[in-house]
Amino acid sequence: MALEDRYGFPLSTTSHEAASAYREGVDLMLSGWTGTAETLECAITADPDFALAHIARGRVHAFYQQGDLARQKAALARELVAKRGAERERSHVETLALAIEGRLPEAIASTLKHVDAWPRDAVVLSLPLGAFGLFAFSGMADHDRARHELCERVAQHYGEDWWFLTMSGWAMTENGDVARGRAVTERGFNLRRANAHAAHAVLHAMFEDGSIDAADRLVDDWIPTYDRGGILHGHIRWHQALGALEHGDAARALAIYADVLQPTATRAPPLNVITDSASLLWRLSAYGHTVPQALWREADAAAQKLFPKSSLSFADVHMALFAAATQNREALAARLAVIEQRLADGKLPAGPVVPAIFRALAAFVDEDYGTCVQMLAPLLGEVVRIGGSHAQRELIEDTFIVALMRSGELPRARAVLDARLHRRPSLRDKRWQAAIG
């Protein structure tokens, strides 16, 4: 009798130990839990020719931007699956390999074809989902809707699966169906509490519906069960820091930063290192709180080592935050020049919104608020193209609102705040509204 994964697909290994370790490793990966890499290594040790274990391990390398190791695993998995693998496994390996290699259009096409044939292949289905998935980083303006529609299309195949409920609920939330999204995500979370992606998705729903105090309690109650080395540990505390800022508590936000987000303290993947630190420090400053320049310089130095060259637009925008905040005009201009060349060559999926954000941020720190407003106003609807979540991208709209207030365009700022409060209750927005009068 063939060994199977948790979703009922046959596995091309005869080793019960390898199959068991693979099943556990995949569940750990899908839940963002510690021990993923080690468990997949056990599967590889038990059966060195097991292609699916190698490609899953490659995906974990990719999470941490260990590109060479990830590509080596992808190449080996391709070789192995060609010798010993059924059609589903060959397609599975090829799809993950394309994603690892950064070939986004091909990876998306391969994912959709694969999911049509094998909708219960959760590892492949996970590729386009989430704030850092293939859809989010594709440059699509409707990636939130695309994730939701994809989940709706395959929902009948998953039932009450804890992983699927988590991700489909988050897709609903990001697509604007917050009440339903929160309920579905919480259902998945309750089926498996040792699931960082579920805790994270619930926090996004709470952010959207204004449940700031409930979110804070959730983190306080749940985070002790999650090791600091977990892939989302720092980012979940970042959400807690955003909650502190909702209450105007800069001291608490900075304490969280020092504890788990500061480059010397964090154990997060590189993309989270730069995005969480840059966005929190920028928010603090934009909201009128004092941020020691030493914190900016330290974080910028770490970011320059992690992302020395232009890469994902989402990363580039956060690198622009560092360059603007530290007044490093040379770094800003150099990265902007590369981005504009990529745009001219048709190789910038997110499009002209990226260089526009660069220029707007530079204008903001120069206190040229009118220019910042002028640059951002026509592009606010396009910011979604850079990827990430709504909570992460809201930083750009915050910058726009602050620029409006500081440039004296109070009626316009009030109108933007009124519209945003209609979408999402926010204590900070209410304070800004009261300040405007």
Encode pLDDT of 261-309 as tens digits.
Answer: 999 999 999 999 999 999 999 999 999 999 999 999 999 999 999 999 9
User: How many residues comprise the chain?
Assistant: 437
Rounded CA separation 100/190 (Å): 31
Q: What is the pTM of this model?
A: 0.96
* Domain spans of the chain, in order of start: 1-127, 138-211, 307-437
Structure tokens at 159: 């039932």
Spatial separation of the C-alpha atoms in residues 159 and 378, rounded to whole Å = 42
Q: Lowest-pLDDT range, 185-189, 388-392, 424-428? A: 424-428
**How would residue 63 be classed by pLDDT, with cut points 50, 70 and 90?**
very high
Contact 50, 88 (CB under 8 A): no
195/225 Cα distance (integer angstroms): 10
Could you tell me the pLDDT band of residue 85, with boundaries at 50, 70 and 90? confident
Report whether 353 contacts 386 (CB < 8 A).
Answer: yes
Indicate the pLDDT class of residue 166, thresholds 50, 70 and 90: very high
CA distance 328 to 300: 10
Domain 1-127: CATH architecture, name and number where available = Alpha Horseshoe (1.25)
Q: Which two tokens stand for residue 384?
A: 């979604």
Calculate the average pLDDT of the chain.
Answer: 96
Mean pLDDT of 383-398: 97
Q: What is the pLDDT of residues 326-347, one digit of tens each?
A: 999 999 999 999 999 999 999 9
Whole-angstrom distance, CA of residue 321 vs CA of residue 313: 13
- Express each pLDDT in 399-435 by its tens digit: 999 999 999 999 999 999 999 999 889 999 999 999 9
Per-residue model confidence (pLDDT) at position 311: 84
Calculate what percentage of the chain has a pLDDT beyond 70: 100
Gap between the Cα atoms of 72 and 54, Å rounded? 9
The per-residue pLDDT for 2 is 76
Q: Vertex 137, ends 134 and 141: CA angle to 5°?
A: 110
As a whole number of angstroms, the distance between CA 334 and CA 169 comes to 40
Give the per-residue pLDDT at 1. 59
Domain 138-211 matching CATH 1.25.40: the answer reads: yes
Does the pLDDT value for residue 310 go beyond 90?
Answer: no
How far apart CA 160 and CA 164 sit, in angstroms, is 8
